[in-house]
Structure 1
Amino acid sequence: MAISIPDRVILVDYGRVISLEPSDDDRRAIERIANGSAEIWPEYQRLRHPLDQGAITVDEFWTRIGASVGRDFDLATRHALWSADLRGWLTVEPGTVRLVDELLQGGTRVALLSNAGHDFASPYRGSPLGSRLERVFVSAEHELLKPDARLFRLVAAELGVSTDRLVLIDDRAENVAGVEAVGGTGHLFTTPDSLRAFLLALT
């Protein structure tokens, strides 16, 4: 069914909202490329912040991860690691995508707002879902991360609305609190069913 929420812009996060969490098999595939090392994950998590803020390139990201475990990944390995990591984030939660489709059918404005590196921008925008959205905002392109108030203000300005018209769907409580701090509305994503109930309450 179509869901119409006038005078608001729905901002949907990507990871763990539109996409599913990468599986254990996805993680093992990355570890195999990294010569069987499961020790890469602490540095992977630590470097996500600067990658998503545009402070380092994805090539630097994988080079530094290799160095953290005493390995000098060559270019072919770095590219294979990037490709395997990207694939792990491309499996979507069908229930969320269906809700986005219902919002679009209802004429509701919908945009993507993701903390992600430059390398995710083209897959987001070129996907069947992304190509239907009004805008795709990738944090690295603006050198700002959720929950920074400056990012929410920038997004609102580019969408031509005040921040109190923003509705953020996100899996992180700090990001929900961030949009609420600038007068917007937030929903902490857990399941498509709970998201549907939240969206219908806004109609």
Structure 2
Amino acid sequence: MKIVLFDYGNVVSLPQDPEDVARMAGGDPGFEDRYWEVRLDFDRGSLDPAAYWSHVYGRPIGGAELDAVVALDAASWSRPNEETVAIIDELAGVGVPMALLSNMPVSIAESIDTLPFMRPIGPRFYSGRMGLVKPEPEIFHETVAWLGAAPGDLVFVDDRPENVAAAERAGLAAVHFRDAAALREDLKRLLA
């Protein structure tokens, strides 16, 4: 049986709400550039939250201030894409196994794991726990090995074309997520 391997951000979750980003930015016009500048290092676990957020804000961040911005960041990624969640619930209802592979720091993963809409998806592979990030081929190889499946038994769903291409190079079937309606049709074809 095929396993559907979902990405999280912009697939299972909605994109960050601009109001959430504005709260974190506090009026700093360069915030978003710095937020993404070293995000893959944060996602990989090469930077801990204090080092990452100190880079983003350009000054040392710690204590209650660090806790507050980590909570804001987690909340910004916590809004479900209800249309994708409906597909997940449909797949769960017919017994299709699902897993998650996401570029995500541990501090965010801990929050995401508690969200009710995530219950049907498991196991969950987070880059921050693996020390690897998509689109590196090793992250796909390790995920496949842990699942004990052949690469061709996985259908990977991601919104980033470079991650889809990397998954295909690793032998997985892959879907470039554009919207839930297209995903439903792609999955019908690939899971048949």
Same fold (TM over 0.5): yes
Give how far 1:75 is off.
Answer: 2.7
Q: Give the alignment partner of residue 156 of structure 1, picking from 116, 136, 144.
A: 144
Q: Residues 74-93 of structure 1: matches in 2 within 5 Å?
A: 74-93=62-81
Partner of 2:169: 181
SS of residue in 1 equivalent to 2:138: helix
* Structure 1 runs, 4 residues or longer, greater than 3 Å off: 71-74
* Matching of residue 47 in structure 1 with residue 52 in structure 2: no
Aligned residues: 191
Gap regions ≥5 residues in structure 2: none
* Matching of residue 108 in structure 1 with residue 96 in structure 2: yes
Q: Percent identity?
A: 30
Q: Give the alignment partner of residue 11 of structure 1, picking from 5, 10, 16.
A: 5
SS of residue in 2 equivalent to 1:129: helix
SS of residue in 1 equivalent to 2:100: strand
Q: Give the alignment partner of residue 38 of structure 1, picking from 4, 29, 35.
A: 29
Give how far 1:87 is off.
Answer: 0.9
Q: Give TM-score, length-normalised by structure 1.
A: 0.89
C-alpha distance in 1 between matches for 2:2 and 2:159:
20
Question: In the alignment, residue 5 of structure 2 is paired with which amino acid?
Answer: L
Partner of 2:22: 28
Distance 1:24 1:124, change over 3 A: closer
C-alpha distance in 1 between matches for 2:120 and 2:21:
30
C-alpha distance in 2 between matches for 1:25 and 1:78:
19
Partner of 1:143: 131
* Matching of residue 169 in structure 1 with residue 157 in structure 2: yes
C-alpha distance in 1 between matches for 2:186 and 2:36:
31
C-alpha distance in 1 between matches for 2:53 and 2:110:
19
Rg comparison, structure with higher value: 1
